Structure 1
Amino acid sequence: MSPPFDLLVIGDANPDVVLGPVPHRLAFGQREQLVGRAGLVLGGSAAIMACGAARLGLRVAFAGRVGDDPAGAFVRAALAGRGVDVTALVTDPRLPTPLTAILTTDDGDRAILTALGCLAATGPADVPEALLASVRHVHAASFFLMPHLARSLHQVFAAARSFGASTSLDTNDDPHQQWDRELLDPVLAVTDTLLPNAAEARALAGEAELLDAAAALARRGPLVVVKNGAEGAVAHDGVRPPVRAAAVPVEPLDTVGAGDSFDAGFITATLRGLDTGAALAVAAACGSLSTRGHGGTATQPTWDEAGAVISHQEVSS
């Protein structure tokens, strides 16, 4: 009998207020500045990944926290509306829902401003053992935004593995730029797949060259799958030559959440039994296709859509 869920995602879920394009140097002093577009969308690396995996056909559950406020109700409804089970999404009676403002520029850069709210209170008790025992895979995101959970995530992952689940982690950025190895290494030892972007991989490993960084991280435990924007992606197990995949050429409208859609593609493909090279191609397609619309979840592809793009690339090449 198969587990009730394919995937449990642990981490951040919040509204994103996306504004832009803005100038690289904002004018303070109470200056009113106009932008071309604003949107209120579902945000949080974990939430976007969960929605992407559900869109690809996985049975997905989510564990985390929101506040007892309109922002929390928005997040809960948005996740459920995209097919994600939110039974384990805790409502914090004291702290507010996290909130992020994303300022985008014409050249694809962005600044991210986050008020943590109840996210900093998220801990191992928010991850029911019954869920860990009833999934095929556990993914965690935004490691450095959840210090309480980060200190115990190795225990959560170890428990998941003891029940037969595989594990993955997307640390995302460290706002303090410390990249605490002492905190992270116990987690990497029980992580099957690490999914940083190129800048994060270099910072986590302390290596300037991307392949050196990926290899160094892989030697600490996991398969390392690095997202590198228009340069595509690379996977390294620390032993064999790296595996690469090209990015899918698209005209991006909004790159917010593209890395999280990439994560969803890689984990979904792996759970479907694809090898690393094929999973990397699916992930690259999912990340690229998610940039066709505004917000992280609006244009996440189905499995068939991602497959059609990959087939077209293969024919074209």
Structure 2
Amino acid sequence: MARDVDLLVVGDANPDVVLSGAPRGLAYGQREQLVSGGDLVLGGSGAITACGAARLGLRTAFAGRVGDDAAGRFVLDALAGRGVDVSRCVIDSRPTAMTVVLADGSDRAILTSPGCLPYLTVEDLPRGVARHVHVSSYFLQPGLAPGLPGFLAEERRAGATTSLDTNDDPAGEWEGLGEVLAEVDVFLPNAAEARAVAARLFDAGPESLEAVAARIGGLGPTVVVKDGGDGALAWQAGELARAPAVPVEPVDTVGAGDSFNAGLLAARLRGMSLRECLRVAVTCGSLSTQAAGGTAAQPTWKEL
């Protein structure tokens, strides 16, 4: 069946205000504190993944919700300017989500106003348009969750493959994933998220990351875990692969995991092996840290 695009990304898009050198303690009482740098950039796991995939040559579309406001126009212009089809994005009467990232070296605190994000539902999503469907930020979009297993199952029956990056759960509860993961071909957590999911689903105690990946993989998906300075690992049908980190001096780590996702999906859609996909993903994530924000340093396929 002919598809309009290679990749449909379903998820979040918002402006990020990234403040570098942020203090660990904020001074209230109308005190003003200075930081070393600030940038206004495109944010949202889904948006950054979509931009990275388009940069790698995939025909990419984004489906989500933004407000009919200046922030929403900023988001749509930024996505379109990077080659992402935004024609399937819903314009909401509610405000666009907004995020402030307080970065201190490689660590960061993230403050998000969800705006219209919680109101995205599967009824907003196009059917049968992509070779692969990727869903981001599961816990920021509770309106999407109830219908998501059925939507993903429908897409798989129509011949598409699927993936999921839950990102963090602000509530810390990690609920509702068992049914969704059964309809996911590739699950893309970081190490902390993978452990939290395994603890919730299997009541698992402390285990190696390899054991955690195998547990989750037992539900069906290939499990690809981002492991920071230790690179990444993948578990697929009993096969385990690892890729070391690429040594770089990061400028900004915001969005590195989303660029990793883009690299993994681009390599997979090219038919590359599990180990090759992992190497491409780690390289994309590492290179993306060489400029402020999640999209400015994303590589092309030739640059890889």
How would you bin the TM-score normalised by the shorter chain? over 0.9
- Aligned equivalents of 2:284 and 2:2: distance in 1? 26
CA deviation string 1:113-169 (max 9, x = no partner): 00000000011111022xxx1210000000000011012111111111111000000
1:238 CA displacement? 5.2
CA deviation string 1:236-275 (max 9, x = no partner): 12523x1000111111000000000000000000000001
1:173 CA displacement? 0.1
1:75 CA displacement? 0.4
Q: 1:297 aligns with which of 271, 295, 302?
A: 295
- Aligned equivalents of 1:50 and 1:2: distance in 2? 21
Matches within 5 A, 1:35-74: 35-74=35-74
| RMSD between superposed Cα atoms in Å | 1.0
Residue 314 (structure 1) aligns with:
none
Q: 2:196 aligns with which of 203, 207, 219?
A: 203
Residue 264 (structure 1) aligns with:
262
Task: Tell me whether 1:185 sits opposite 2:178 in the alignment.
Answer: yes
SS in structure 2 of the partner of residue 139 of structure 1: strand
8 Å CA contact 1:216–1:238 kept in 2: the answer is no
SS in structure 2 of the partner of residue 147 of structure 1: coil
CA deviation string 1:75-111 (max 9, x = no partner): 0000000000000011002x100000000003x1100
So what's the TM-score if we normalise by structure 2?
0.96
Aligned-partner residue type, residue 83 of structure 1:
G
So what's the TM-score if we normalise by structure 1?
0.92
Any unmatched runs of 5+ in structure 1? 307-317
SS in structure 1 of the partner of residue 262 of structure 2: helix
- Aligned equivalents of 1:305 and 1:201: distance in 2? 30
Residue 97 (structure 2) aligns with:
98
Residue 28 (structure 1) aligns with:
28
Q: 2:146 aligns with which of 151, 163, 171?
A: 151
- Aligned equivalents of 1:263 and 1:220: distance in 2? 20
| Matched pairs, number | 298
- Aligned equivalents of 1:86 and 1:125: distance in 2? 17
SS in structure 2 of the partner of residue 6 of structure 1: strand
Aligned-partner residue type, residue 281 of structure 1:
R
Residue 253 (structure 2) aligns with:
255
Q: 2:282 aligns with which of 274, 281, 284?
A: 284
Regions of 4+ moved over 3 Å:
none
Task: Tell me whether 1:231 sits opposite 2:226 in the alignment.
Answer: no
SS in structure 2 of the partner of residue 24 of structure 1: coil
Question: Counting helix residues as a fraction of each chain, which structure ranks higher?
Answer: 1
Q: 1:175 aligns with which of 152, 161, 170?
A: 170
- Aligned equivalents of 2:189 and 2:148: distance in 1? 17
Any unmatched runs of 5+ in structure 2? none
SS in structure 2 of the partner of residue 87 of structure 1: coil
1:221 CA displacement? 1.6
Matched-pair identity in %: 59
- Aligned equivalents of 1:125 and 1:2: distance in 2? 22
8 Å CA contact 1:191–1:221 kept in 2: the answer is yes
Aligned-partner residue type, residue 53 of structure 1:
A
SS in structure 1 of the partner of residue 88 of structure 2: strand
SS in structure 2 of the partner of residue 40 of structure 1: strand
8 Å CA contact 1:254–1:291 kept in 2: the answer is yes
